[in-house]
Amino acid sequence: MEILQIVLASRPLGIPSVSNFRIEKTALNDLNDGEVLLKSWYISVDPYMRGRMNSVKSYAASFEVDKPIKGAVVARIIDSKSSSFSTGDIVVGTLPWATYTVDKAENLRKVDTVKVSPGYYLGILGMPGFTAYIGMMDICKPVKGETVVVSGAAGAVGIVAGQLAKIHGAKVIGIAGSDEKCRSLKEQFGYDDAINYNTSKLLRKEIAVLCPEGIDVYFDNVGGEITEAVVANLDFHARIALCGQISQYNNSKPALGYTILPHLLTRSVMLQGFIVSNYSNRFGEALTQLTQWLNEGKLKYAETIIEGFDKLPEAFLGLFSGKNIGKMMVKVD
Ligand SMILES: NC(=O)c1ccc[n+]([C@@H]2O[C@H](COP(=O)([O-])OP(=O)(O)OC[C@H]3O[C@@H](n4cnc5c(N)ncnc54)[C@H](OP(=O)(O)O)[C@@H]3O)[C@@H](O)[C@H]2O)c1
């Protein structure tokens, strides 16, 4: 059996490229008691992985050069020396970018892929969905009649965040990078309106036209100039959930953030950053609630699935040029 893995070949400076990754053959350890043999099925690519390609200290350890990239994977159990799992079970866990791997059963969670699409455990019923849930329910807390703006609105987190605000009766405006994404936000995901920041001539003005009474809530996935344009339109006592800053992840030097601070001060804005892994005690609640809303048809989701293990680096890089609608992932077989 040929086993392939993808390792970090070198640390990128600025925008990463496929040359920062290397695909190689590997061998598997024998199964010990309490371990299972896994065949990867769907592998997640996520923006946070860009930070882990650097060597700087952060909330999570860096990837090591010449070692496999690790992330969320939905996998099938091929062999088991654990009483918790049987051959054929489908599980989700943090696993290497590899076609097969051996791991401890305790690191894995069994999932139902009969009623639920397997990729959903990497998206709406996984880390990105939980992020939208925590950011919107705990920090933004939108109520009926408020105006909510979501940047990165057509991505894995953003699609869910906007719909959660709609469920709570808010008017929701999305900001995304193409007309196709903006159309889907309105036609499929219930957004009231959406702006394509790539074709907008003056984003601040366009936002002002769509939000004449000011913005009460901003769910920020991207940072940078988009955030400056949104912040200029915030109402007094607005709330910001600082979820992501993808527009800044490939910068070799940090951009200055001072332009937004005077607005935050004079409008008494509450801004809170958050890291979803610090809310693991709430994942059960988030999973139950998101599943219920999915089953009731109140939430919809989208996936961009790229076929082929060797396409992982390309899929990951595609996140930085907006190649995905909803959750980006790679189907291995
Ligand atoms: N705080 C947490 O715990 C947590 C957890 C998960 C994710 N996040 C963050 O949340 C954000 C969204 O994550 P996700 O998984 O949902 O990713 P995603 O939105 O599915 O994929 C990234 C998207 O970002 C947009 N983008 C890329 N470069 C951009 C730029 N320079 N300016 C504006 N938009 C850009 C692209 O869409 P367009 O076509 O619209 O440009 C792209 O599709 C990321 O910043 C991520 O790091 C935070």
Q: What is the pLDDT of residues 257-312, one digit of tens each?
A: 778 999 999 999 999 999 999 999 999 999 999 999 999 999 999 999 999 999 99
- Cα 104 to ligand 1 centroid, rounded to whole Å: 31
Residue 121 vs residues 90, 117, 156, 214, 329: alpha-carbon distances, Å:
11, 8, 12, 36, 11
Helix, strand, coil % in the chain, rounded to nearest 5: 35, 30, 40
pLDDT value for 61: 86
71 lines ligand 1 (CB under 6 A): no
pLDDT value for 29: 87
pLDDT value for 59: 77
pLDDT value for 256: 66
Q: How far apart are CA 38 and CA 95, in angstroms?
A: 10
Answer whether 0.85 is exceeded by the pTM.
Answer: yes
- Among 122, 157, 218, the mutation site with the greatest number of ligand 1 atoms within 8 A of its Cβ is 157
- Among 124, 218, 221, 329, the mutation site with the greatest number of ligand 1 atoms within 8 A of its Cβ is 221
Q: Please count the helices (runs of H) and the strands (runs of E) in the chain.
A: 9, 15
177 lines ligand 1 (CB under 6 A): yes
pLDDT value for 326: 98
Q: How far apart are CA 78 and CA 94, in angstroms?
A: 17
Rg (CA), the chain: 20
Q: How far apart are CA 93 and CA 101, in angstroms?
A: 11
223 lines ligand 1 (CB under 6 A): no
Q: How far apart are CA 259 and CA 34, in angstroms?
A: 54
Backbone angles phi, psi at 27, to 5 degrees: -120, 160
Q: Which residues of the chain have pLDDT under 50?
A: none
